[in-house]
Amino acid sequence: MIPNIKRWLFVNLLITSFLTLTSCDNETQYTNYEPNYLASIDATNLPIGNRPMTMFEDTESPSKMYDKKDRWFRVNQPLQIIQKGKDSVQVSLYSPVGLADVKIYAKLPNYDKRFLIYHFTKIPAFHRSFHQIPLVAGKNDYLLETGNAVTIDKIDGFSSGAIEFSVESSDPLFAKFKKIKSSQLVQFNDAYHINELGKFLPMNPVLAKEAITMILNYSYALSHPMYYETFTNFDRYKQEQAALAGTAINGAINWHGNTDDVNGVYDYLTKAEIEQIYLNYVDNRSLYIAMVGGSSAWGGGPLASQWESGYITGHWTGEMSVWSHEYSHHTGFNHSSNLANSGEGGGQQEMLTHFYKYLIYLNDLPFTDPDILKGWTKTNYLTGTYKKPVFTISPKNPFLLKYKGAGKWN
């Protein structure tokens, strides 16, 4: 079903596409036909008609950041393509580093091939712009994903869902984004500090950029094969950690749930339960990021939070214990579970922090250079005073001791 598209137009599309395909495969060819493709786009130099802007500018009103209908993204899709009206798309990049060589493909109902609708040579960090769908402007040639060419006549417009967009890029940063398993929807929610000011404080665009950078890194870490292997074999991790340290195993040997232990007897989770918990960590829930104002950080339901210092310097040095703790509350665990505490000889907080630091050491996160944001220098927007974060790793880090510089996610 193709709403609001005349049947003869779509039949014409199919007939035209099959008549003007050109390639070296078995489809119909016109060897003398020279396709006239759409021009590439440099999003760093767009005309005013595209309404280009940089999201989360330091001076931007936080009210824009808190607009839940306008500012949101899924962590596995930081480059967001949203249809606006019947003839345009909104392109938004939720990343502190831009992308190069970005190809946006379109897919129409009843036609089984994607075709290149926009080729961006550059998209800058935190960019947003609007672009007319070229199909509504007139007849054009398009490059198919197969390498063929297709000519498509003008289509008057598209109702919501009648055209599907997908993104590809040769940029190494985009390759890291593609590895993220989680599809959690990230937003900033002002309800926390409005309702409980003091316990929570307002965020601002400086902090938001740091939080976006952190959650992309964190989601990549959760998706990492080494994290999955360790998480689902935490008993082995505990045994190896004790052996490397030359000590006895301290506390619970495996993951356990929210039931309080009785004299060291824990409600250990089965392998099947642990596998499901991992999937819950990288699921598609909503994640509301907030800033702590009081003496305690908080998490639970859609919320995960940490202090200003964690957003400005902590995540760059791998100090992810607080965030891991609150994210585990967000995932459904309380203080009686070692998935959300640092006691019992080290649980999720300790393991994740060691692992995250090892990934920084390997340069195996999307972002490891604090100079891309320089958040610590933006004193007008901060309540504390900070220095440039400098990363170091302990020679006793259990991942460093075990893997000795190996294990990068290639």
Cα 68 to Cα 113: distance, rounded to the nearest angstrom: 34
Amino acid occupying residue 171: D
- The verdict on 344 and 388 lying in the same domain is yes
Which of the 8 DSSP states describes residue 373? T
> 84: which 2 tokens?
């606006």
Q: What does each of the 410 residues of the chain score in pLDDT, given as a tens digit?
A: 333 333 333 334 443 433 333 332 333 455 567 888 989 999 999 999 999 999 999 999 999 999 999 999 999 999 999 999 999 999 999 999 999 999 999 999 878 899 999 999 999 999 999 999 999 999 999 999 999 999 999 998 888 778 999 999 999 999 999 999 999 999 999 999 999 999 999 999 999 999 999 999 999 999 999 999 999 999 999 999 889 888 888 888 999 999 988 888 899 999 999 999 999 999 999 999 999 999 999 999 999 999 999 999 999 999 999 999 999 999 999 999 999 976 666 789 999 999 999 999 999 999 999 999 999 999 999 999 999 999 999 999 999 999 999 999 98
- The reply to whether 326 falls in a domain is yes
Q: What are phi and psi of 80, to 5 degrees?
A: -110, 130
Residue 2 included in any domain: no
One domain for residues 314 and 199: yes
86 and 47 in a common domain: yes
pLDDT at 10: 39
Predicted local confidence at residue 174, as pLDDT = 98
Q: Does 206 share its domain with 337?
A: yes
User: Is residue 224 domain-shared with residue 124, that is, in the same domain?
Assistant: no
198 and 164 in a common domain: no
Percent helix, strand, coil in the chain, to 5, is 35, 20, 45
Single pTM value for the model = 0.91
pLDDT at res. 160: 79
Tell whether 180 is covered by a domain.
no
Residues 184 and 74: beta-carbon distance below 8 Å: yes
Distance CA 133, CA 151 (A): 15
Contacts of 66 (CB under 8 A, 6+ apart): 188, 189, 190
Helices and strands (DSSP H and E) totals, the chain: 12, 16
Name the domain boundary from 138, 169, 200. 169
* 304, part of any domain: yes
| Type of residue found at 309 | S
Assess whether 152 and 192 both reside in one domain. Answer: no
Domain identity same for 224 and 252:
yes
User: Does 408 reside within a domain?
Assistant: no
pLDDT of residue 136: 92
Domain boundary, last residue among 140, 169, 198:
169
Beta partners for residue 11, in sequence order: none
Question: Cα separations (Å) of 342 from 322, 339, 396?
Answer: 10, 8, 17
Domain co-membership, 191 together with 53: no
Domain residues for the domain of 399 are: 185-403
State the pairing for strand pair 41-42/115-123.
parallel
- Three-state SS at 128: strand
Q: Which pLDDT score is estimated for 64?
A: 96
Query: How many domains does the chain divide into?
Result: 2
231 and 360 housed in the same domain: yes
Angle of the 205-223 helix axis to the 348-362 helix axis, nearest 10: 100
Asked whether the CA dihedral 119, 183, 157, 143 is positive or negative, the reply is positive
**Domain termination site, one of 125, 143, 169:** 169
At 342 the pLDDT is 62
Query: Residue 202 corresponds to which tokens in the numbers above?
Result: 């307002």
Does residue 247 lie in a domain region?
yes
Q: Is 409 part of a structural domain of the chain?
A: no
Q: What is the pLDDT of residue 21?
A: 38
The answer on 370 and 292 residing in a single domain is yes
Spatial separation of the C-alpha atoms in residues 98 and 108, rounded to whole Å: 28
CA angle 189, 209, 392 (to 5 degrees): 120
**Residue 175 domain-assigned (yes or no):** no
Q: Rounded to a whole number, what is the distance in angstroms from the first to the last CA of the chain? A: 42
Write down the pLDDT at residue 341: 79
Q: Are 339 and 241 in the same domain? A: yes
Tell me the C-alpha distance between 375 and 397, whole Å. 27
Tokens of 397: 């880090």
Give the pLDDT confidence score for residue 144 in this predicted structure.
94
